[in-house]
Amino acid sequence: MRKKQPFIWAALRLLMRVCTVLGHETAVRVGAFIGRLVCFFSRGRTARARSRAARMLGVREREAREIIRGAYSHFGRALVEFIRLPVVYPKIDELVRTTGEEHIWKALEMGHGAIFMSGHIGCWEYAAAALARHGLPMNAIGTEQRDERITQTIADLRSRAGVKPVAKGINLRAALECLKKNEVLAVLLDQDAKDAGILSPFLGHLASTPFGLIKIAHRYGIPILPVHITRDGDGLHMTTVIEPPLKGENGRPFGEDIRYSVDRCNEVISGWIRANPEQWMWMYPRWESTLNDK
Tens-digit pLDDT profile for residues 252-263: 999 999 999 999
End-to-end C-alpha distance for the chain, whole angstroms: 24
By DSSP bridging, strand 138-142 and strand 163-167 are parallel
For the entire predicted model, the pTM comes to: 0.94
Number of other residues whose CB lies within 10 A of the CB of residue 143? 10
> Starting at the edge strand that comes first in sequence, how are the strands of the sheet with 163-167 ordered?
96-99, 238-242, 224-231, 114-118, 184-188, 138-142, 163-167
Tens-digit pLDDT profile for residues 223-279: 999 999 999 999 999 999 999 999 999 889 999 999 999 999 999 999 999 999 999
Burial per residue of 159-190, b for 16 or more beta-carbon CB atoms within 10 angstroms, e otherwise:
eebbbbbbeeeeebebbbebbeebbbbbbbbb
Q: What pLDDT, on the 0 to 100 scale, is given for residue 288? A: 94
Query: Quick one: which H or E segment has residue 116?
Result: strand 114-118
Rounded CA gap, 197 and 237, in Å? Answer: 35
Contacts of residue 32, defined as CB under 8 A and 6 or more positions apart, other chains included, come to 73, 74, 76, 77, 235
Is the predicted pLDDT of residue 174 greater than 80, yes or no?
Answer: no
Is the predicted pLDDT of residue 2 greater than 70, yes or no?
Answer: no
Binned at pLDDT 50, 70 and 90, residue 168 comes out as low
Number of other residues whose CB lies within 10 A of the CB of residue 9? 14
Tens-digit pLDDT profile for residues 36-73: 999 999 999 999 999 999 999 999 999 999 999 999 99
Q: What pLDDT, on the 0 to 100 scale, is given for residue 1? A: 47
Q: What pLDDT, on the 0 to 100 scale, is given for residue 169? A: 53
